Structure 1
Amino acid sequence: MTTTAAPALPETPAALLRAVRDQKKAADRADVEMMRLGVHWADLHLADPEFAEACFTSPKTFAGEGSPAIDEFCVPEFATMLGRTNDSAGHFLSQCVELAYRLPKLWGAVQAGLVAGWRARLVADTTIDLSLEAATYVDGQVFWCASRLTPAQLGRVVDEAKVRFMPDQVADALEKSADKRHVTFDTAVHARSGG
């Protein structure tokens, strides 16, 4: 059995911090490249709607309204190469497709290295259930500041998009979430005196 010696670690704090920075940049670039590969994998497995009923594969819309239908049976192969479960790989592909097709400004910022991939995927998770117009609004509001956007700020932008572009769904959600508890006072009933 052969063993390989680990590379020597930097000897000074400054050199160590430079090495950490370099490794972080390399990891960020690798994450973006994996996202690009995920989008390309999905593009290579677009479902043909004309033959969807005549084949054994099952088309699925991985992202929100306006994104293409993709053969869902392409996920296991991708998952195997990623070393992830099918659910995890499917979620990753959904995030990537959401970015590429419905959040193009944010996707461009990711590819330009202005926004970390993980931050963009968090935004994609919040827009996947929005209408195309609402997602486009969120894209325009956050692409330039996504690298420093807090979850609360993102939530407010998404809520604003829902109010502007999905008012019926907002009204339905408010009605469903309304407190259904109540108390009824019957003033016609008289109390009995003890005796």
Structure 2
Amino acid sequence: MDEPRVPDEPPPARLPDLFTPHDLPPLGEVMADGCLVRDTPMGPPRAVAPGYGLPEDPADHIRQLQEVEALARFAEIRRVALVADLVEAAPVIEREERVPCGGDGTPWVPEFLAVEIGGALGMGEVRARLFVSDTLDLKWRHPRLWNRMVAGDIAPWQALMVARMCHALAWDGALRVDAATGDVLPGLAWARAKRLVEGEIAAADPVAAVERERARLNRRVVAVAVRPGTTAAMNVFGVLDTADAEALDETLGQMAAELGQSGDESDLDTRRARALGLLARGVLPAGRPVARIYLHVWAESTVARVEGHGPLPVDELPGFLSGCTVRMTRVIDQRESVPVDAYEVPESMREQLVVAQPVEVAPYGSVPARSSDMDHTVPYARGGSTEPDNLGPLGRRAHRARTHGGYRLTQPAPGLWLWRTPLGQAFEVTNRGTRRVVA
């Protein structure tokens, strides 16, 4: 078996002194009386005891919560770093051999090291081997992301998950994904981060991406199964191609609405289930339902983005759009936007905002902009204009928090939203994610 390829550049620097073992609180200090009674990385000594012994000021609760979260993250970073160090330092014992464990380009490890690590972490050999594999991939194939994790900018579990998603890529493909995403992922909600990484994986290996899409199409299925314990209902499960699934969803929605208008007082889910049964019997909705799929394609890109779904290789577009009516829309230049003298946001302006800010502008938000409210940063009733520089998408919950919950929002520059929470936290939000700032 060939020896593993080793990167030309040395691995990233080790953890800073902040994360050496003597800086982590001993077990006794953490557990004494259920309290943490030592300095934390974010402030002076405090007693943190869930449910009792806490001060009455809710803002102080938030500060302590931040401290506990930081300490937990630092401990997890240290755990990952120790495993990475152990891979380099662990000797080969007796007849043991070094074997591959991580992805392409990672060093081989002692054959039984995962058994030793599993015992230390309280996990079985299979799970421990997966943890070692993810750690190797992260450190040796994602140097930017590794350094951001070590700095505490991204949760270790997220960094390890990104490494796992890229495991099948060749070494240079993983480095390409890391170069495109390693400094961007911190500050993104995991749903956004995952979609971004999926797109870069497809771009790094378009041939494999096409093969994956075709394999998924070959796994389409619709099945009806007995529902245990009842004869009144059965389970229906299906995997359809995206266009068919969107059309079915739109049709069921329209038929459910028609049933409601005709006097059916069942909830929406029940009416949608009834609608599927009516479709099976040849009953069609009034008119032709229209399902809209938004597809974003950039010049010279090998990967398109299906809004709400994920990346799609450009080579697969003809099959994906087969049977669809396609309307092309040119790239929108927001400089052409002019304010309108009305509270309602025109469709063209809304589309500009969706393209510029694909998710809500709430801290760590993940609600798609297309299903969000377009919020006036300076309220219209107070003289705020209806233009992109005074608008931002907000999901319904975030919109209500801003309107009724005492959350303050300003837009000091186009595309930059500054939030201040009732308990003293502050965040900057852009289309690249969220950054905590000093209030």
TM-score calculated relative to the size of structure 2 = 0.35
Of residues 104, 111, 118, the one that matches 1:72 is: 111
2:63 to 6, 11, 18: 18
The alignment yields a C-alpha RMSD, in angstroms, of: 2.5
CA distance in 2, matches of 1:12, 1:172: 56
Equivalence for 2:138: 99
> Residue in 2 aligned with 1:6?
34
- Are 2:157 and 1:136 aligned? no
- Is 1:154 paired with 2:197? yes
Unaligned runs of 5+ in 1: 48-54, 182-195
Residue 171 of structure 1: CA displacement? 5.6
Secondary structure at the aligned position of 1:81 is classed as helix
CA contact (8 A) 2:181 2:196 kept: no
Change (3 A) 1:5 1:104: closer
Equivalent of 2:155 in 110, 113, 116: 116
- Cα offset for 1:76? 1.4
Q: Please tell me whether the aligned partners of residues 46 and 68 of structure 1 are also in contact (alpha carbons under 8 angstroms).
A: no
CA-to-partner distance for each residue in 1:27-78, whole Å, 9 max, x for gaps? 111111111101011112376xxxxxxx632432221111111113011121
Deviation at 1:10, TM superposition (A): 3.2
Q: 2:81 maps to what in 1?
A: 36
For 2:204 and 2:83, how far apart are their aligned partners in 1? 27
- Hey, which of these two has a bigger chunk of helix by percent? 1
Letter in 2 for 1:137: R
Tell me if structure 2 keeps the 8 A contact 1:46–1:69.
no
Stretch of structure 1 that moved more, 170-179 or 30-39: 170-179
Aligned residues: 168
Conservation of the 8 A alpha-carbon contact between 1:67 and 1:102:
yes
Aligned 8 A contact 2:83 2:132 in 1: yes
Give yes or no for the alignment of 1:62 onto 2:65. no
The match for 1:185 is none
Residue type matched to 2:34 in 1? Answer: A
Distance 1:5 1:32, change over 3 A: closer
Q: Find the residue that maps to 1:146 and give its secondary structure.
A: coil
SS in 2 for 1:77: helix
Other-structure match for 1:193: none
**Shift, 1:123, TM fit:** 0.6
Q: Aligned with 2:178: secondary structure?
A: helix
Q: Which deviates the most, 109-118 or 119-128? A: 109-118
Aligned equivalents of 2:181, 2:100: Cα separation in 1: 24
The letter of the residue matching 1:6 is: G
In structure 2, relative to structure 1, the CA distance for the partners of 1:43 and 1:11 (3 Å cut) is: same
Mean CA deviation greater in 142-151 or 125-134: 142-151
| Larger strand proportion of the pair | 2
8 Å contact 1:119–1:146 — kept in the other structure?
no
Larger Rg: 2
Structure 1 residue 175 displacement after superposition: 6.2
1:137-167 Cα distance to aligned partner (Å, 9 max, x none): 001011111121432222111111111xxx3
Counterpart-to-counterpart distance in 2, 1:71 and 1:39: 13
Q: How has the CA–CA distance of structure 1 residues 67 and 13 changed in structure 2, closer, same or farther, with 3 Å as cutoff?
A: same
- Deviation for aligned residue 1:103: 0.9
TM-score between the two structures when normalised by the length of structure 1? 0.76
Native 8 Å contact 1:65 1:132 kept in 2:
yes
CA–CA separation in structure 2 for the residues paired with 1:95 and 1:180: 28
